[in-house]
Amino acid sequence: MRAGLCTVSAPLAACSPAAALPPSARFLALHLLHQQTLYFIVQAKSRVRELYHQTCRHFAQQGMLDTDLFGLALICDGEYLFAEPDNKLSKYAPKSWRSSHSHGLDANGRPALAFYFRVQFYVDSPLLLRDETTRRHYYLQLRLNAASGAAGEHATHLAGLSLQADLGDHNENTTFRPEDYLPPNMRGPAALRIMEAAHRTHRGLSKNEARARFIAEACQLQEPVNAHIFRLKASKS
């Protein structure tokens, strides 16, 4: 895609004052796996593939070689669904965004339309991930999957490895958010003690090594940590 034909801006770190924007311009938010958000200026006629193109350019500048493993998703009824590249962004937007006189911002000054940058295509081995930026984002997706309950009985072991990947060697003064590592039913004192004990066993492992080991172990599990899960819905008769 030639840059001159793209109707989606390069990513912004914040929603800039909208006074100078043409009436057709809209703000859009893209939530990343490391809990940061990028903002884009788009048109109602802009398509998903244009947003994806600009997102991939952003990550390519950070050294990501495997951008094709990732996609842009929305939350629909509590489930992440990937947007079709050829669809217009307006197809996924609430009416308030499409007819907005405030450039797509809600009453709190936030974009009324938001996408999520997530792994769409999973690999069988971490050896297929060609750079550290890809591995970091892939790892964050697997950590999120495990914390949502996909890891089953392996959750505390993987959580200990995650703590090594994120924080380095165990320290009694280190704090973390249990919800980033364990599913809701495994956040009691006993599970936290097991997780911290697992963390101690990985002392000396570098953060990059722990991240790679986490991905490798997740790939070997029968539990669907290394996969995108779709909810089954009853068909209407």
Please state, in angstroms and as integers, the Cα–Cα distance from residue 35 to each residue in 38, 65, 139, 181, following that order: 10, 21, 14, 14
Alpha helices in 89-131 (DSSP H): 95-98
User: Where does the pLDDT of residue 155 fall: very low under 50, low under 70, confident under 90, or very high at 90 and above?
Assistant: very high
Given a cut of 90, is residue 161 above it in pLDDT? Answer: yes
Q: How far apart are CA 86 and CA 68, in angstroms?
A: 16
Q: How far apart are CA 135 and CA 17, in angstroms?
A: 35
User: Where does the pLDDT of residue 173 fall: very low under 50, low under 70, confident under 90, or very high at 90 and above?
Assistant: confident
pLDDT value of residue 236 = 55
- Higher pLDDT among residues 72 and 226, named by residue: 72
| Residue 38 and residue 77 share a domain | yes
> Given 85, 100, 119, which residue is the final one in a domain?
119
Percent of the chain with pLDDT over 70: 94
Please state, in angstroms and as integers, the Cα–Cα distance from residue 180 to each residue in 71, 84, 119, 127, following that order: 22, 29, 17, 25
Any bridge partners for residue 28, and if so which?
Answer: 40
Given a cut of 80, is residue 230 above it in pLDDT? Answer: no
| Residue 172 and residue 112 share a domain | no
Q: How far apart are CA 56 and CA 50, in angstroms?
A: 10
Q: How far apart are CA 22 and CA 95, in angstroms?
A: 19
Question: Residue 6's closest CA among 42, 34, 60?
Answer: 42
Q: Mean per-residue pLDDT for 42-55? A: 96
At 172, give phi and psi (nearest 5°). -60, -25
CATH number at residue 211: 1.20.80.10
Residue type present at position 108: N
| Residue 100 and residue 11 share a domain | yes
Given a cut of 90, is residue 141 above it in pLDDT? Answer: yes
User: Where does the pLDDT of residue 234 fall: very low under 50, low under 70, confident under 90, or very high at 90 and above?
Assistant: low
pLDDT value of residue 231 = 62
User: Where does the pLDDT of residue 232 fall: very low under 50, low under 70, confident under 90, or very high at 90 and above?
Assistant: low
- Higher pLDDT among residues 153 and 74, named by residue: 74
Residue 206 located in a structural domain = yes
| Residue 149 and residue 115 share a domain | no
| Residue 35 and residue 58 share a domain | yes
| Residue 181 and residue 87 share a domain | no
What is the total count of domains within the chain?
2
> CB within 8 A of 2, min separation 6: which ones?
none
Range of the domain at 62: 3-119
CATH number at residue 58: 3.10.20.90
Largest CA distance in the chain: 58
Q: Mean per-residue pLDDT for 66-82? A: 95
Range in 18-22, 25-29, 63-67, 128-132 the model is least confident about:
18-22
| Residue 167 and residue 109 share a domain | no
Q: What does pLDDT average to over the chain?
A: 91
